[in-house]
Amino acid sequence: MQISRLLFLAVAGAGLSFSQKGLASVDSAGQEAAGIVAGIQNGSGARLIYNDQTLRLEVRDELGNILEEIAAGSVSRAVDTAGQEYRLSFGKDELGRPSVLVRPGPAMRKPLLVEVFGRKAVLSPDSSLMATLADDQQVFYEPSICGQVYYIEDFGGLRGKVSRLASAKREVVKNRRRAD
């Protein structure tokens, strides 16, 4: 029993997952996240930042240049950044809080890297991530139930960057990033 658990943990950590038929399949989002953390792959993607003055969502590149501004009420807006296609829906939830839904565009067949309100994530082609801003400096992150979402977190120091599968239905994070 112990050997089978260790084998399962080793296989799961290597970026593999099991389908219902018991065959191993590659978890491309997990491998992409691991490559970014290891420094093997480039970690460039879109940065989504909420601007308090304009009340718009800003899409920025890795250098901080504004590529596009999206007004509230936009649905499935296509944005192409650094060779990655995003579909963004931006608006307000039932409590009037800014909220964005990010998902890979239909042409994306590989994992997508995005930074949403200060938190980097890797999304598999069939997943999505919703982030909602609260008034008390909190961000609510909710991954979809299909596909995989990995958070890339930078702890600095000896630990450095780590990737973690988004397994919780909802996570609350303080210290969100806003526009300058």
pLDDT for 88-102, tens place per residue? 999 999 999 999 999
- Quick check: 72 pLDDT over 90? yes
Domain assignment present for residue 75? The answer is yes
Give the H or E element holding residue 136.
none
Domain assignment present for residue 21? The answer is no
Given this model, what pLDDT does residue 53 score?
A: 94
| Total tally of structural domains belonging to the chain | 1
Q: Tell me: the pLDDT tens digits for 10-44? A: 333 434 343 344 434 556 666 665 655 544 455 56
Given this model, what pLDDT does residue 10 score?
A: 34
- Two tokens, residue 88: 């963004």
Q: Which residue has the higher pLDDT, 155 or 58?
A: 58
Domain assignment present for residue 94? The answer is yes
- Two tokens, residue 75: 């649905």
**Containing domain of residue 123, as a range?**
28-174
- Quick check: 64 pLDDT over 80? yes
Is residue 165 within 8 A of residue 148, CB to CB? The reply is yes
- Quick check: 58 pLDDT over 90? yes
Given this model, what pLDDT does residue 156 score?
A: 52
Share of the chain above pLDDT 90, in %: 28
Domain assignment present for residue 20? The answer is no
Other beta carbons within 10 angstroms of residue 92's beta carbon come to 14
Domain assignment present for residue 4? The answer is no
Domain assignment present for residue 138? The answer is yes
DSSP 9-71: HHHHHTTEEE-TTS-EEE-HHHHHHHHHHHTSS----EEEEEETTTTEEEEE-TT--EEEEE-
Domain assignment present for residue 56? The answer is yes
Given this model, what pLDDT does residue 108 score?
A: 84
- Two tokens, residue 81: 């950044």
DSSP 105-128: -TT--S-EEEEETTEEEEE-TT--
Domain assignment present for residue 63? The answer is yes
Exposure string of 133-149, with b = 16+ CB inside 10 Å and e = fewer, is beeeeebbbbbbeebbb
